[in-house]
């Protein structure tokens, strides 16, 4: 009887430990990780650890889920790239994040600065990307859900509408669908439209 | 003759309609005169009382130093008294959403004070004592009551625009991946970054109309974080 009690206690403990480990492994949706990385960029600029051009010339984020071997290992890596320079290379920053999405370290990658990156008249490029991520995380649009959960990359483009208005278009890819998602924003950061596209 | 009678009927009808409309306006104003203010308190209300019970909790968040209309001094309030009456007591346009409207008690106090002529001191010489105001301290409850509630929670609350960034408890701010608060380190805490006058994305945002934090409020927040950001 005593042995049975011990066995039950042991099973409960093991189950709790597994649950804790799993929770620590994947507690944040990838769309949220991307959104947090935009805040991280702001923070690193404020702390003068990276250049302000990561906010004004940001073109893409790549979100990678890691498999931590130890609890202290990072759970996510986000690569933020500036517009490519004349030789096609980009200045990048790799941001490592823990299981909650908190930044743990960052590494700058050299590249060539773009001289002809799009200029935004109101919100900067990082804010436009961040607002598009707020949309997929907070709107009730069911088409946006696979991009909140399985986001792998976002790319910002500057386009002109038929009416001649300059808008930002954020293209998103996800592991949870083969479709693409496009969020179009005005230069003040308000979302104008959002829709999926079959590639 | 029949045509004349018809014309006369139309004229009478129009004048009856006009008179009914003006009666409605009159009624609304009489309603304000008869019910909104408290006759018994007319000689006891002062600016100090109204400032602490109405202006500070309900107006100053937007109508402070960086707002369009400053309502932080008696002179400025007195200068806008007719407008204040119009937008609060008569039309209820202020406070604007997302701030809550004035409640019945606040409306009655304000109306009574305006009815008394908006005096700086109570007309009868003896004021209703204003509520005791606790000074702003480097403690969470004081900060929550005097800063967050007035300037932040209007957006940073469940169901509101910025609910994703919670300022509810010290622990939530410490645990946030946004590093809102780093105990003992105000200089690296995001909370301090965003309220500083030179912030790229200053909080409260300019478009909100809410006035920026005063230097003494920023100093208190820094002190609280430097002391460990506990309760």
Residues B177 and B202 in one domain: yes
Residues B108 and B184 in one domain: no
Asked if A96 has any chain B CB less than 8 Å from its own CB, the reply is no
Nearest-Cα residue of chain B relative to residue A123: B201
Position B226 scores a pLDDT of 97
Position B60 scores a pLDDT of 83
Nearest to B179 among A43, A127, A137 (CB): A43
Residues B52 and B150 in one domain: no
b/e code B84-94 from CB counts within 10 Å (16+ = b): bbeebbeeeeb
User: Which of B81, B106, B133 is the endpoint of a domain?
Assistant: B133
Question: Residue B37 is part of which domain span?
Answer: 17-133
C-alpha distance across the termini of chain A, in Å: 62
Cα–Cα distance for residue pair A187/A166, rounded to 1 Å: 7
Mean pLDDT value across residues B154-183: 93
User: Which of B116, B133, B150 is the endpoint of a domain?
Assistant: B133
A101–B177 CB contact, under 8 Å: yes
Q: Model-level pTM?
A: 0.74
Residue B192 vs residues A145, B2, B172, B203: alpha-carbon distances, Å: 33, 82, 16, 10
Q: With cut-offs at 50, 70 and 90, classify the pLDDT of residue B125.
A: confident
* DSSP reduced 3-state for A55: helix
Residues B111 and B25 in one domain: yes
Does residue B8 form part of some domain? Answer: no
Window from A27-36, A42-51, B37-46, B65-74 with minimum mean pLDDT = B65-74
Across chain B, what does the average pLDDT equal?
Answer: 84
Task: Check whether B32 has a pLDDT greater than 80.
Answer: no
Residues B164 and B126 in one domain: no
Token pair, residue B5, equals 């009678």
Position A10 scores a pLDDT of 57
Residues B152 and B100 in one domain: no
Does residue B43 form part of some domain? Answer: yes
B200–A42 CB contact, under 8 Å: yes
Residues B31 and B128 in one domain: yes
Task: Check whether B35 has a pLDDT greater than 80.
Answer: no
Rg (Cα) of chain A, in Å, rounded? 20
Window from A82-91, A140-149, B133-142, B169-178 with minimum mean pLDDT = B133-142
Beta bridge partners of A80: A61, A93
Position B159 scores a pLDDT of 86
Task: Check whether A21 has a pLDDT greater than 60.
Answer: no
Residues B198 and B175 in one domain: yes
Across chain A, what does the average pLDDT equal?
Answer: 91
pLDDT digits (tens, 9 = 90+) for B183-199: 999 999 999 999 999 99
pLDDT digits (tens, 9 = 90+) for A128-177: 999 999 999 999 999 999 999 999 999 999 999 999 999 999 999 999 99
Does residue B91 form part of some domain? Answer: yes
Q: How far is B177 from chain A (nearest CA, A)?
A: 4
Position B56 scores a pLDDT of 84
User: Which of B78, B98, B133 is the endpoint of a domain?
Assistant: B133
Residues B144 and B218 in one domain: yes
Q: With cut-offs at 50, 70 and 90, classify the pLDDT of residue A17.
A: low
Residues B187 and B162 in one domain: yes
Does residue B159 form part of some domain? Answer: yes
A39–B178 CB contact, under 8 Å: yes
Closest CA to A114 of A72, A152, A83: A83
A102–B179 CB contact, under 8 Å: yes
**CA pseudo-torsion sign B176, B179, B180, B183:** positive
Residues B109 and B23 in one domain: yes
Nearest-Cα residue of chain B relative to residue A134: B164
Cα–Cα distance for residue pair B138/B230, rounded to 1 Å: 10
Cα–Cα distance for residue pair B30/A147, rounded to 1 Å: 59
Answer whether A44's CB lies under 8 Å from A54's CB.
Answer: yes
pLDDT digits (tens, 9 = 90+) for B110-119: 999 998 999 9
Structural domain tally of chain B?
A: 2
Does residue B144 form part of some domain? Answer: yes
Residues of B in contact with A120 (CB under 8 A): none
Mean pLDDT value across residues B148-168: 91
b/e code B197-231 from CB counts within 10 Å (16+ = b): eeeebebbeeebebbbbeeebbebbbebbeeebee
Closest CA to B53 of B103, B94, B97, B120: B103
Position B4 scores a pLDDT of 67
Residues B218 and B194 in one domain: yes
């Amino acid at each position: 009887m005593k042995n049975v009690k011990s066995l039950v206690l042991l099973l409960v403990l093991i189950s709790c430990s597994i649950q804790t480990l799993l929770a620590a492994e994947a507690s944040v949706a990838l769309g949220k990780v991307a959104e947090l990385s935009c805040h991280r960029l702001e923070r690193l600029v404020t702390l003068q650890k990276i250049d302000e051009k990561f906010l004004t010339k940001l073109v893409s984020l790549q979100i990678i889920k890691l498999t931590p071997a130890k609890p202290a290992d990072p759970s996510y890596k986000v690569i933020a790239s500036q517009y490519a320079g004349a030789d096609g290379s980009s200045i990048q920053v790799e941001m490592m994040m823990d299981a909650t999405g908190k930044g743990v370290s960052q590494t700058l990658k050299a590249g060539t600065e773009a001289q002809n990156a799009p200029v935004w008249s109101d919100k900067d490029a990082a804010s436009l990307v961040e607002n598009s991520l707020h949309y997929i995380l907070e709107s009730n649009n069911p088409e946006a859900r696979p991009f909140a959960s399985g986001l792998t990359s976002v790319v910002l483009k500057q386009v002109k509408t038929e009416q001649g208005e300059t808008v930002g278009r954020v293209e998103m890819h996800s592991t949870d669908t083969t479709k693409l998602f496009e969020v179009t924003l005005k230069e003040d950061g308000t979302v104008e439209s959002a829709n999926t596209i079959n590639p | 003759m029949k045509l004349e009678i018809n014309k006369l009927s139309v004229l009478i009808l129009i004048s009856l309609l006009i008179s009914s409309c003006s009666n409605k306006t009159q009624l609304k104003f009489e309603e304000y005169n008869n019910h909104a203010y408290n006759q018994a308190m007319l000689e006891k209300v002062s600016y100090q009382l109204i400032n602490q019970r109405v202006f500070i909790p309900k107006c100053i968040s937007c109508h402070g130093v960086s707002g369009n209309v400053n309502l932080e001094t008696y002179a400025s309030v007195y200068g806008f008294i007719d407008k204040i009456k119009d937008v609060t007591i008569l039309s209820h346009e202020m406070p604007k959403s997302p701030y809550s409207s004035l409640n019945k008690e606040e409306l009655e106090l304000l109306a009574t004070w305006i009815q008394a002529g908006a005096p700086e001191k109570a007309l009868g010489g003896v004021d209703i004592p204003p509520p005791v105001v606790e000074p702003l301290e480097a403690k969470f409850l004081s900060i929550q009551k005097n800063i967050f509630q007035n300037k932040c929670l209007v957006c940073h609350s469940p169901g509101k625009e910025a609910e994703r960034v919670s300022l509810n408890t010290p622990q939530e701010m410490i645990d946030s991946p946004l590093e809102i608060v780093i105990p003992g380190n105000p200089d690296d805490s995001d909370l301090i970054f965003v309220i500083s006058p030179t912030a790229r994305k200053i909080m409260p945002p300019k478009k909100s109309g809410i006035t920026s934090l005063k230097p003494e409020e920023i100093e208190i927040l820094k002190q609280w974080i430097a002391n460990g950001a506990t309760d």
